[in-house]
Structure 1
Amino acid sequence: MAHPSGLDRLTSHAPDREEPLAGGNVAESVVRSGSTVRKPWTPATPFVHAFLRHLHAKGVAGVSAVLGRDEQGRQVLEFVPGQQGESAPPMTLAELRRLGAMVRAIHDASADFVPPPGARWDVAIPPDGADLVCHQDLAPWNLIRDGDTWTFIDWDASAPGTRLWDLAYLAQTFAPLVAGGDPEADAPRLRAVVDGYDLDAAGRAALPDKLVVRTRAMYDLLADGFRTGAKPWARLWAEGHGVHWGGAADYLAAHLPVWRSALR
């Protein structure tokens, strides 16, 4: 049965030769077909697509386009060419400020999005609130850079959250703020993201502690997956991701005065 909103209507997109795409940790069977990406349709997909269409309608840059659903029932998205953030050189301070401004524009455009009735979301980590729909995974592995064009991909985890929750993850992953870092070198990078976002004084005061909580939440997700065998978290734990996130959370907690001073 079609969704009453028409969000899951079938769109004709006959696939070309399909090429598996690497790099995803959660979605299975992600392929490129010509100028499109095909990936599994989930109960949350109609609502994620509605969100992306809302952002496009508002002219927000950096959002991959939704093209519908193919004959195999898969979601069809724009293929975005370029270099994945993880393989690109570390961002300069100017680039980190641009990144913060980019996400501020996404959040501002999201603020008046009203999810369709019965909205369902795929939430792995419960956020700290539900003020607006957020990407929830704004990290280097989900940013494609093609010259001056930057595009965030993999919006499947989009769900209600808060600006600070999304911003904390963005800053932690892009600065990056990880075990073995140099706090004095990392603090200006954190500030660059926050300055670009133009975060207010209350947000700057709250963000350092939020960085710790948001990063620790990733560790807890993986640790719970290891204990229960839940996929893909158990596999990611076995691959060492738990060590990464736990170390990052400890590093952030150990240097809270530095982050607070940088953002003051």
Structure 2
Amino acid sequence: MAAVEEHLTGGNVTAGVVRVGATVRRPVGPQTDAVDALLAHLHAVGFTGAPRPLGRDERGRQVLEYVPGELTEDLDPRHLPDIARMLRDLHAAAASFTPPPGAVWHTEIPPVGVPGSPVGEVICHHDAAPWNLVRADRGWVLIDWDNAGPGSRAWELAYASLTCCGMRPERPIPESAARLRSFVDGYGLDPALRPALAALLGVNAGAMYDLLATGARDGRQPWARIYTEDGAFWRGVADHLHANVAEWRSALGEE
């Protein structure tokens, strides 16, 4: 009897991603071997915030551990420090990873570095956001690793901060600032990097908008669809974050 395949939806899930029992099966791309090597390393060093890689199935698809739990894009602010600590632990675990020879990565948005946190210092997830977070029995788990690749801690933390803290224009600035402080304190970011992080927030949101706009122009999915649905949202978020850098720097002041 053939195994039952349940198509997975939500977020920016790639077409053809299915659940089979306690596993997830995904189409293989040029980056899959490097992603599997990274996930195997994370598991080996005890990082629990990622699914375990389980090889390939009879159809050549990537096989990953299915992580049961709650998936919600509306995060409780009380959970922000724990999510940030998971991200810190990811970066610490990835720091000892040596990519396999000829590793190929598929990072959609070129990362930006700052003094003290340069591009290439660590392999990052590059989409650490509510739509890729599962609240599991073992803690917070990041799924959908196809965009993993070399990055900088500051760039990844900026993206995770603005998405997980919900730093959108309609949220009062003091509330967003408090959430940002809670998240960054949870990560334990070096005080010397905090002013640079505040400035990266708008740059990061603007890079997301540019990805969507370029995807719409070129007819690339899912970016063209997301641009139609959320392009104006990301442009507004970028403008809002740029306009209030002083507020974010103030919030991230002395610990």
Instruction: Report the counterpart of residue 90 of structure 1 in structure 2.
Output: 75
Deviates more, 1:104-113 or 1:20-29: 20-29
- The answer as to whether partners of 1:82 and 1:144 remain within 8 angstroms in 2 is yes
Deviations 1:177-209 (A, max 9, x none): 112111111111001110011101221111011
8 Å CA contact 1:15, 1:33 repeated in 2: no
Q: Say whether the 8 Å CA contact 2:7–2:18 is kept in structure 1.
A: yes
Matched, 1:169 2:159: yes
What is the correspondence of 1:112-261 to structure 2 with a 5 Å cutoff?
112-128=96-112, 129-147=119-137, 149-238=139-228, 240-261=229-250
Q: Percent identical across equivalent pairs?
A: 49
Task: Confirm or deny: 8 A CA contact 1:171 1:190 kept in the other structure.
Answer: yes
1:105 aligned onto 2:89: yes
1:15 to 1:45, Cα distance in 2 relative to 1, 3 A? farther
Matches of 1:186 and 1:235, distance apart in 2: 28
**Which of the residues 22, 28, 35 maps onto 1:48?**
35
Q: Is the 8 A contact 1:179 1:244 kept in 2?
A: no
Partner of residue 33 from structure 1, selected from 16, 20, 25:
20
The two structures have a TM-score, normalised by structure 2, of: 0.93
Runs of 4+ in 1 over 4 A off after TM superposition: none
Shift of 1:110: 0.8
Q: CA RMSD in A?
A: 1.5
Corresponding residue pairs, total? 247
Q: Distance in 2 between matches of 1:174 and 1:117?
A: 34
Quote how far apart the aligned CAs of 1:24 are. Answer: 4.1
Shift of 1:149: 2.6
Question: Does the Cα contact within 8 Å between 2:11 and 2:132 map onto a contact in 1?
Answer: no
Structure 1 gap segments, 5+ residues each: 1-13
1:76-106: CA deviations, max 9, x gaps?
A: 01111111131xx53233x211111111011
State the alpha-carbon separation in 1 of the partners of residues 89 and 2 from structure 2. 33
Give CA-to-partner distance per residue, 1:38-60, whole Å, 9 cap, x none. 11011100000100111111101
**Does the CA contact (< 8 Å) of 2:77 and 2:165 recur in 1?**
no
2:70–2:136 CA contact under 8 A, matched in 1: yes
For normalisation by structure 1, the TM-score amounts to 0.90
Q: What amino acid is aligned across from residue 249 of structure 1 in structure 2?
A: A
Aligned amino acid, residue 127 of structure 2: D
